[in-house]
Structure 1
């Protein structure tokens, strides 16, 4: 079995911890508990006939301008940038965030995930998708367990490239 370090990054309150809890424990809580620093979870996934242990680093959210310690990014095989589809401030400067993550991690491809789709109508969601300046890989809902597994499988595939 191979182990791969993966990062979840993005603004505070976008649902990074909720996505991880849903994926690792199949649980969801409405309670918001801010991550301080970094929290590491793990889950073994079967992918393309091999077992991969994902070491999932839940990096504390920022409000945009704070710098994340470079040490968190060292040795990462893949990263997922999560934004909240219902809060424009979490995706309005997505290009700047992605450039910073790429610089710190050395990763070229970042999985882009819009979370909390359960908070918007289909029309509102389409507007957000058209507004975001980068290609969104998946739209998820940790609450409704929608596309969560797919997001982490895409992240797993990134670790093997």
Structure 2
């Protein structure tokens, strides 16, 4: 088995912790508890007959003017940038935000995930996707457990590249 460090980053309140809780513990809570600093969870996944222990770093959400310590990004094998499809400020300048994560982590590819799909209808989501200047890998709902497993499978696959 191999262990791989993966990061979940994005603005505060986009659902990073909820995605991790849904994936690791199969739980969801409406209660919002802000992550301070970083919280690490782990889960073993199987991909292409390979067992990978994902060490999932839940990096505290930020406002645009806050800087995340570079040390959090060191040694990461993959990263997921999460935004909230119902909050425009979390996906404005998405391309720039993802570029910053690439720069800090040294990763070439970042998985981009829009969360909180359950708050909008498909027409609204499609409209938002047309306004975003980079490709979005998945739209998820931690609450309804939609595409969460798929998002982490993409992340696990990224660790092997």
TM-score range relative to shorter protein? over 0.9
TM-score, normalised relative to structure 2: 0.99
Establish whether residue 4 from structure 1 lines up as the match of residue 4 from structure 2. yes
Q: Distance in 2 between matches of 1:128 and 1:119?
A: 13
Find the residue that maps to 1:4 and give its secondary structure: strand
Deviation at residue 97 of structure 1 after TM alignment: 0.8
* Superposition deviation, residue 145 in structure 1: 0.2
Task: Supply the RMSD in Å over aligned alpha carbons.
Answer: 0.5
- Distance between the aligned counterparts of 1:96 and 1:9, measured in 2? 14
Between Structure 1 and Structure 2, how many residues are aligned? 161
Which segments of 5 or more consecutive residues in structure 2 lack a partner in the other structure?
Answer: none
Equivalent residue number for residue 113 of structure 1:
113
The equivalent of 2:98 in structure 1 is: 98
Spell out the pairing of 1:1-161 with structure 2 (5 A cutoff): 1-161=1-161
Moved over 2 A (4+): none
Which runs of no fewer than 5 residues in structure 1 stay unpaired? none
SS in 1 for 2:101: helix
Determine the C-alpha separation between the residues in 2 that align with 1:52 and 1:105: 20
Q: With structure 1 as the length reference, what TM-score do the two structures score?
A: 0.99
Structure 1 SS opposite 2:44:
strand
